[in-house]
Structure 1
Amino acid sequence: MRADRKLWMTATICAVVAAGVTGCSQGEDKAAADPFKGLTAEAIADKAVATTKAATAFRMTGTGTTDGEEMTVDFSVDAKGTCKGSMKAAKGGTAEVIGTGDTSYMKGNEAFWRSSGGEEGASAGETDAMSNALKGRWLAMPAGADGDTAAFCDLKAIVKDMDEDTPRKGMTRGDDADVDGKAAATLVKKGDKGETTTFYVARDAAKPYILRVVETGGKEPGTMTLGDFDKPVTVTAPPAGETVDMEQLMKTLTAS
């Protein structure tokens, strides 16, 4: 079963939400001294990536398409391995994810589990068995049991992907903008396949976080918004009676 391979990539390939990015910042922000004066766009991007990587927690939200399917993602994670979030596909598949450090839990509706089974090449009988076994219950996954799902609650893995997947070479700086009330510098990267990636970086000399990433054109247009930096994530593990572990699930599938 595959929930998603890379949460960071899931977020960044979501569809553009243009309403969240307005033109230029207003009032005092507009008149404020430029904290990036004298820096190239690439240098600003490097500072933004380094600052965001150093955060002890953050929230990622995005809406759009991944693997050809529309999806909405809302996910929070901290450095202690605590996480919580949700994803929703246009075809009706929805799932919640929570993690407590040593175990991740996923709870999906029937459409989600049937879609997951189909992607993994499960037979119709196996898919039926999986859907029935997990109906209204959480799938419990010990850390390290599944590299893909374990990465959901691994802040280091997420920021590593962020660093590797952030194209900084050849960036140019555009007009400043406003992202959810925060003044931001815009950094633009033109791709060789018709895509344009725009980074919105907080105009903050001390904490120039990445606030939003927007990609237009190309095969995977999308948007991702970051927030709640350094805000701890609080979750409660589901009761044992509401969970199914991997061993139980595999026995169910083998018997089907």
Structure 2
Amino acid sequence: MRANRKLWAAATVCVAVIAGATGCSKGDDKAADPFAGLTADAIADKGVETTKAATAFHMNGTGKTDGEEMTIDFAVDDKGNCKGSMKAPSGGTAEIIGTGGTSYMKGDDAFWKSTGGEEGASSEESDSMSALLKGRWMKMPKESGAGEGGPGAFCDLKQIVKGMDEDTPRKGLTREADADVDGKPAAVLTKKDKDETTTFYVAKDSEKPYILRVVTTGGDEPGTVTLSDFGRPVSVTAPPKGEVVDMEELMKGAS
């Protein structure tokens, strides 16, 4: 009887958790590999094309620019909405939001002092910029909006996925042992080029094989970027006009 009670207790636990934990099920059933029969290059193609079709995602990561580390953390959707933050290589942190085709940036003193003014600006000019924007949002000039290098590119989903499409190698990849990214199973693909290695983590999902993470080691610009929250819309409200400095208007006045 005592042995039977132990057996019933174990069975009850197994039924309760349903998940088929070790000791509750026969065998070790594994989910079928959605990429079975595909080359690493073909998996990369699927990952890039699926991610390009996403209507929104969250992106965070760190990387080096000119030898200095930069950090980004933001969400963006295909309606031109975005919000997040960035840490400049030379110091300071800034918030970034975008809505209705307009982008805004609000930095702390360290950020504006390290990035304010044109290249080669004096410390006085940088201090002046910091004082002007203290506690206020800078409305991005149109020419500094969408497009490569412009701050507004953070809010341009098409530009982001275009860059991903162009920068992701599709030839000569090798599939390594699978891994997890924040609890999600992923196929791991690597590409080695001279002193640089790029590793892609593609979700093992037959319907939505998104790129979950990209890691670059070696080379001039190492870094890691993680993508999540695919398809989740971004809710943004433009800052009050009284808290905004329109840089385009200021530049017109200066000229």
| TM exceeding 0.5 | yes
Does 1:245 pair with 2:246? yes
Specify the SS of the correspondent of 1:87.
Answer: strand
Q: CA deviation at 1:128?
A: 2.1
Deviations 1:199-227 (A, max 9, x none): 00000010000000011122222111000
Q: 1:78 is matched by which residue type in structure 2?
A: D
Does 1:213 pair with 2:191? no
The residue aligned with 1:227 is 228
Q: 2:223 is matched by which residue type in structure 1?
A: G
Q: CA deviation at 1:236?
A: 1.1
Q: CA deviation at 1:114?
A: 1.9
The residue aligned with 2:93 is 94
Specify the SS of the correspondent of 2:170.
Answer: coil
The residue aligned with 2:183 is 181
Structure with max Cα Rg: 2
Q: 1:48 is matched by which residue type in structure 2?
A: G
Specify the SS of the correspondent of 1:60.
Answer: strand
TM-score (norm 1): 0.82
Deviations 1:167-225 (A, max 9, x none): 12110100000110000000010112x11111000000100000000111222221110
Does 1:172 pair with 2:171? no
Does 1:190 pair with 2:189? no
The residue aligned with 2:133 is 134
Specify the SS of the correspondent of 1:174.
Answer: strand
Select between 56-65 and 147-156 the one with higher mean Cα deviation.
147-156
Answer whether contact 2:91 2:114 (CA < 8 A) is retained.
Answer: no
Q: CA deviation at 1:248?
A: 4.6
Does 1:69 pair with 2:71? no
TM-score (norm 2): 0.82
Q: CA deviation at 1:68?
A: 1.7
Does 1:154 pair with 2:156? yes
Answer whether contact 1:133 1:249 (CA < 8 A) is retained.
Answer: no
Mapped partners of 2:165, 2:49: distance in 1: 8
Deviations 1:147-174 (A, max 9, x none): 4123221111110001001112110100
Deviations 1:88-108 (A, max 9, x none): 246541000000022100001
Does 1:40 pair with 2:45? no
The residue aligned with 1:121 is 120
Q: CA deviation at 1:30?
A: 8.0
Q: Which runs of 5+ in 1 are unaligned?
A: 1-25
- Note the aligned Cα RMSD (angstroms): 2.4
Mapped partners of 1:124, 1:153: distance in 2: 30
Structure-2 change in CA distance of 1:100 and 1:118 (3 Å): closer
Aligned length: 228
Mapped partners of 2:180, 2:248: distance in 1: 49
Mapped partners of 1:164, 1:90: distance in 2: 25
Structure-2 change in CA distance of 1:29 and 1:79 (3 Å): farther
Q: Which runs of 5+ in 2 are unaligned?
A: 1-20
The residue aligned with 1:103 is 102
Specify the SS of the correspondent of 1:156.
Answer: helix
Mapped partners of 1:29, 1:54: distance in 2: 35
Structure-2 change in CA distance of 1:90 and 1:200 (3 Å): same
Q: 2:200 is matched by which residue type in structure 1?
A: F
Q: CA deviation at 1:58?
A: 0.4
